[in-house]
Amino acid sequence: MENEEPLISVVLPVYNVERFLKRCVDSVENQDYKNLEILLVDDGSTDSSGTLCDDLARKDHRIVVIHKANGGISDARNCGIAQAKGKYIAFVDPDDEVDLDYLSYLYSLIIQFKCKMSLCSHRILHEKSGKLVNLGNKTETLLSAENCIEKMCYHNLVDTSVWGKLYKTSLFHEIVYPRGKKFEDMGTTYQLFLKSKTVACGFNPKYTYHIRDNSITTGPFHPSKLDLLEMTDRMARDVVHCYPDLKNAVLRRQVYARLSTINQVLSADDEYLLIRGQMIRFVKEHRRQVLLDSRAPFRDKLAIILLSIGVPVYKFAWNTYCRFAK
């Protein structure tokens, strides 16, 4: 594509990723969509990531490096958004990588469906085993915000991730990522769906998400992982206010968030027993609605039934699953 195409800003929040950064930046630099600015936001890295950012910028005039004090991934993304010059903006996590037509594909969807936001599917690479899982069904369609959020709540093709999407930069006017919070995408992506009103969806994998040990999702439990509940409940309140018919969909996502977090604290210290009890009570209080919801996944329903029998049974089943899933 020639430079008459609009400028796309690509924001990479960088923090202590010296091992992966060049691989990621290479995949962005080599895009077949050339009219880019690549914003490397060094969020107070304590390894050589900041120096590597500067080295990369000297070799490509499209790279802009922003060095800042550590404020977390949301703060880094917000900083990148504030300095982005592009008409459109995309995000890539610095330990992942993207296909060479990642941006051109997302942009083509926006042009084809005449909207302000697009998304694609992704593939998951388990770095330890080398297992690669492609997601998506290779269809392309235009969805309303309501349909997008409903699919997101049921884990049906649409996900909450910041990446894997192209946004008109103006969508971020008055929308910011929640500073200091984990699972910030859960608290923000639905807002962008609502503001965009329609979303161009291309369910072809163009983004490779790397799963490593000790990532946010796979690492040991930390109290910050409870942010998932706060972000999900905020999403639920806002969505039901706009779309009352999505009450069952957002409830399913709230129950899922509890089940996911319960799995994290099953073997955690006794100090989390009270929190675990609160989450279990929430699941039990709402189990009937989820069990009767034909769109709720079978795994959710099985987990609810096992948890209703008792924590020891649930813990045994979860640990058995984890052993065979490795």
3-state helix, strand, coil in the chain (%, to 5): 45, 20, 35
What is the rounded CA–CA span in Å between residue 99 and residue 208? 8
> What pLDDT does 2 receive?
44
| Burial of 237: CB neighbours in 10 Å, binned 0-12, 13-18, 19+ | exposed
Q: What's the residue count for the chain?
A: 326
* Spatial CB neighbours of 176, under 8 Å, sequence gap ≥ 6: 74, 78, 81, 188
What is the rounded CA–CA span in Å between residue 85 and residue 169? 9
**Closest by alpha carbon to 308, among 259, 268, 272?**
259
Q: Over its length of 326 residues, how does the chain's per-residue pLDDT go in tens digits?
A: 445 899 999 999 999 999 999 999 999 999 999 999 999 999 999 999 999 999 999 999 999 999 999 999 999 999 999 999 999 999 999 999 999 999 999 999 999 999 999 999 999 999 888 899 999 999 999 999 999 999 999 999 999 999 999 999 999 999 999 999 999 999 999 999 999 999 999 999 999 999 986 555 556 678 889 999 999 999 999 999 999 999 999 999 999 999 999 998 987 677 788 899 999 999 999 999 999 999 999 999 999 999 999 999 999 999 998 887 65
> What pLDDT does 285 receive?
98
| pTM across the whole model | 0.94
44 residue type, one letter: G
Find the angle CA(44)-CA(181)-CA(74) to the nearest 5 degrees.
Answer: 50
What is the rounded CA–CA span in Å between residue 132 and residue 139? 20
* Spatial CB neighbours of 59, under 8 Å, sequence gap ≥ 6: none
Site of tokens 């890295």: 45
* Spatial CB neighbours of 3, under 8 Å, sequence gap ≥ 6: 34, 35
Extract the tokens encoding 38.
């690549």
Site of tokens 């909207």: 115
* Number of other residues whose CB lies within 10 A of the CB of residue 260: 16
CA atoms within 13 A on the CB side of 166: 29
Q: Where are the strands (E) in the chain, listed by range?
A: 8-14, 36-43, 63-68, 88-91, 97-98, 117-126, 131-134, 140-144, 165-168, 198-211
Extract the tokens encoding 18.
């010296």
* Spatial CB neighbours of 304, under 8 Å, sequence gap ≥ 6: 255, 259, 283, 287, 290, 291
User: What H or E segment, with its residue span, contains residue 322?
Assistant: helix 311-325
